[in-house]
Amino acid sequence: MKIGITGGIGSGKSYVCSIIEKLGYPIFYSDKEAKWLMENNLKLKHEITELVGNGAYVEHSLNKNVIRNFIFNSEKNRKKLNDLVHPVVFKHFEIWSKQLKNNELIFNESALLFETGSSKRFDKIILITAPTELKIERLTQRDKLSEQEVLKRIDSQLSDKEKISLADFVIENNEKDLLVPKIVTVLNQLKNGI
């Protein structure tokens, strides 16, 4: 079974994925793979430079500020960039998953599964949620962003409420309840075909 794991920015999906990985399950990190491909796939680099402009890269590395401004200031820009990057990332996931065909469950972590329509490619979807105040706290600390910048990023994605109706499983990462038992419950349900 191919399982998608998604969640809004600051939900803690990478942390949940690290726990699942420690429990022995393979995880493909789409967001990390996308960053790597954007810097190392020559065809993709060329297409991104044509779309964003010459400022997209600084000495062969992504100019994160220019890319951020490009995608967070325009829904149209975000869609165009996603349309370039996501098919290449998914192709890499398919190659990776073929090498793991003997595994009962394989996971794909991606922030934008619903936004890009990629969710249809998975057998089940796990959504990681967190209260907005906690997302703001995490992102202001982790990324050194202002509250206004964090809210702009949160608003650029589907809301948790919208995603909950689309997901098969929801794990709330609220830092109040123990997280591991919630994850183990979902893993057991997946193994039992629920």
Q: What is the CATH number of the domain that holds 124?
A: 3.40.50.300
Angle (deg, nearest 10), helices 30-40 and 75-98: 100
**Same structural domain, 130 and 55:** no
Which whole number is the average pLDDT over 90-112?
Answer: 94
Domain extent, residue 49, equals 32-87
Query: Are residue 156 and residue 177 in the same domain, yes or no?
Result: yes
For residues 59 and 150, state if they share a domain: no
Is the distance from CB of 16 to CB of 5 less than 8 angstroms? yes
Q: Is the pLDDT of residue 56 over 90?
A: yes
Q: Is the pLDDT of residue 145 over 90?
A: no
Residue 75 has pLDDT above 90, yes or no: no
Q: Are 120 and 108 in contact (CB under 8 A)?
A: no
53 vs 70: CA distance, rounded Å: 10
194 & 119 share domain:
yes
Q: Within this chain, do residues 66 and 118 fall inside the same structural domain, yes or no?
A: no
pLDDT for res 162 = 93
Structure tokens at 11: 């939900």
pLDDT value, residue 150: 85
**pLDDT top residue among 19 and 71:** 19
- Assess whether 175 and 142 both reside in one domain: yes
Is residue 93 a part of any domain in this protein?
no
Query: Is 94 part of a structural domain of the chain?
Result: no
* pTM of the complete model: 0.89
Question: What's the total number of domains in the chain?
Answer: 2
Residues 100-119: what's their mean pLDDT?
Answer: 91
pLDDT exceeds cutoff 70 at 186: yes
Task: Compute the average pLDDT of residues 139-160.
Answer: 85
